[in-house]
Amino acid sequence: MSTGLIEGKTARRRLPWGPMARMAGRRALFAAPVLLAVTFGVFAVADASPFDPVKAYTGTAGLTASQENLDQIRANLGVDQPLTTRWWNWLTAALTGDFGDSSVMRQPVADVIAERMGWSVLLAASAFLIAIVLGTALGVLAARRQGGWLDRCASAAAYTLEAAPAFWLGLLAIWFFALELGVLPAGGLTDTASDVITPGQVASHLVLPAAVLGISQLPWFFLYVRQGVADALDEDPVRGARARGLSETSVLLGHALRSGMLPMLTLIGSRVPELITGALLVETVFSWPGIAAATVEAATSVDFPLLAALTVLATTAVLLGNLLSDLLYGLADPRVGFDG
């Protein structure tokens, strides 16, 4: 950034692939024990809880089954083995892609995840896009006139939105857009009447959940861009640009926004936990067939194999997000480097 003037735009910096790869490798080394600990923790919590895998497996049939049958199932499921053995068996099977069978979806856990992953990624990506575009636009406008009416209104709205639960926003959006105005569908992936998935149908069903998830993430992006641009407007590069007589637009977008957006861009990866939290609520409200909705279903019907796999999956996503965030930070600010 600051060296741009000296090096000129023709001398593009090459990406430091080596240090970046080494950082990713170090993070993978750190991630392995974390994932081990999380999987063990998941098994330990289940072991300490009153949850009984045999009852969960047999369901209502377990009430009438004979004790012999129940004991047989218990042995088949390996429930009578100690905690560490069960954990180790699950772990070795998981490494080969076998996460067991989901009792609530009546299919292998790996299939559930593969079927639903795409819809969740679509929803999350659309929501992120909405949050970044809206947040950046509003943030720049608010920072331009700090203390002005737009800044005051947008900041107050951002703090209010940050306090508002995503499920509540989703329900009110359903009431207003689907019931009062009747312009958008209230939930699901396609109309109930149709059994084929067409892009047009998915798009119209995506609007509300993506908008609600995006708006619930918006305050964070807005407040960061606003702060970053406002700080940048006070600094020497902007003063220099103004002194050279550049137009206000070019100062704002070319100079202030470029450095003001950095903190936000580099922290995007660390927003993964909040995104997952939001998705858990929004997918449930809108009956979106993603993995977050499956997590809630698995939890309500105590489907341990599915819940365990999804917890590990979410942890992996968070770790990847942290890595992405650190890589971007090192790229954006060479002084930070890739030593973490």
CA angle 42, 44, 48 (to 5 degrees): 120
Q: Which is nearer to other proteins, 211 or 275 (CB)?
A: 275
Supply the minimum distance, in Å, between the C-beta of residue 30 and other proteins. 8
Q: Which of 105, 132, 141, 307 binds other proteins (CB under 8 A)?
A: 307
Q: Which of 16, 62, 134, 162 binds other proteins (CB under 8 A)?
A: 162
- Interface with other proteins, residue 320, by CB under 8 A: no
- Interface with other proteins, residue 252, by CB under 8 A: no
Which DSSP string corresponds to 275-309?
A: HHHHHHHHHHHTT--SHHHHHHHHHHTT-HHHHHH
Contact string 259-298 vs other proteins (x = CB under 8 A): -------------xx--xx--xx--x----------xx-x
* Residue 107 DSSP SS3: strand
Number of residues that bind other proteins (CB under 8 A): 61
Q: Is 311 exposed, middle or buried (0-12, 13-18, 19+ CB in 10 A)?
A: middle
- Interface with other proteins, residue 315, by CB under 8 A: yes
Give the strand pairing for 107-108 and 101-102. Answer: antiparallel
CA angle 194, 198, 200 (to 5 degrees): 110
Q: Which of 51, 85, 145, 191 binds other proteins (CB under 8 A)?
A: 51
Distance of alpha carbon 98 from alpha carbon 259, whole angstroms? 46
Q: Which is nearer to other proteins, 169 or 206 (CB)?
A: 169
Which DSSP string corresponds to 223-276?
A: HHHHHHHHHHHTSHHHHHHHHTT--HHIIIIIIIHHHHSHHHHHHGGGGHHHHH
Q: Which is nearer to other proteins, 127 or 298 (CB)?
A: 298
Rule CB under 8 A: which residues touch other proteins?
33-34, 37-38, 41-42, 45-46, 49-51, 143, 146-147, 155, 159-160, 162-165, 167-168, 171-172, 174-175, 179-180, 186, 219-220, 223-224, 227, 230-231, 233-234, 272-273, 276-277, 280-281, 284, 295-296, 298-300, 302, 304, 307, 310-311, 314-315, 318-319, 322
